[in-house]
Amino acid sequence: MSLSLYHACVPTLTRALENLIAVLDKGAAHAEARKLDPLVLPGARLFPDMFPLTRQVQIATDMSKGAVARLAGVEPERYEDTEQTFAELVARVEKTVTLIRGFEPARFEGSELRDIVLKSPRGDRHFKGQAYLLDFVLPNVFFHCTTAYNILRHNGVELSKQDFLGSF
């Protein structure tokens, strides 16, 4: 049995993003319990030259919605990137999950060979659909979800590997 790009993409990204919501919820609860300024943890970084938590979440959602749209042959929806609080970050992730779940598997037929071109300040990046998903999107989404997890963990939020992986 072969695995379609829809089945490699939509359920995998949905799970990663739903687990990210759970991690963000724990971060919000931690901040509230300790009466932290609500902007402190969303603005936290692991290292000064790394993006803060807010940007990690924005990139994870942008990569996810962009992948699903491009593989389905449509232009990705654009978000404003104005989130500053846990509630705003969770709402963004929930919006993305709803968006990607709305794509039908039939939209992905033939997407493994679809030409994908990403514009970048360093020049255009050209992919075929399968390589785009497996070699670029999934590693990036997991990198940014992991970094969001690590920022919160580093700042004292009680998280475990199971929070990142979710339930099976």
- In order along its 168 residues, the chain shows pLDDT tens digits of 588 999 999 999 999 999 999 999 999 999 999 999 999 999 999 999 999 999 999 999 999 999 999 999 999 999 999 999 999 999 999 999 999 999 999 999 999 999 999 998 999 999 999 999 999 999 999 999 999 999 999 999 999 999 999 988
Q: How far apart are CA 82 and CA 128, in angstroms?
A: 32
Residue matched to tokens 């992919």: 127
What's the rounded Cα separation, in Å, for the pair 11 and 128?
20
Q: How many angstroms separate the CA atoms of 159 and 152, rounded?
A: 8
For 6, 59, 106, 129, the CA distances from 111, given in Å and listed in that order, are 9, 23, 10, 5
Nearest Cα to Cα of residue 83 among 105, 116, 58: 58
Q: Residue 149: what pLDDT?
A: 98
Note the pLDDT of residue 3: 87
Beta bridge partners of 118: 125
| pTM of the full structure | 0.96
How much is the pLDDT for 1?
58
Alpha helices (H) in 34-137, listed in sequence order: 53-71, 86-101, 129-131
Name the CATH topology of 5-158.
Answer: Four Helix Bundle (Hemerythrin (Met), subunit A) (1.20.120)
Distance CA 166, CA 168 (A): 7
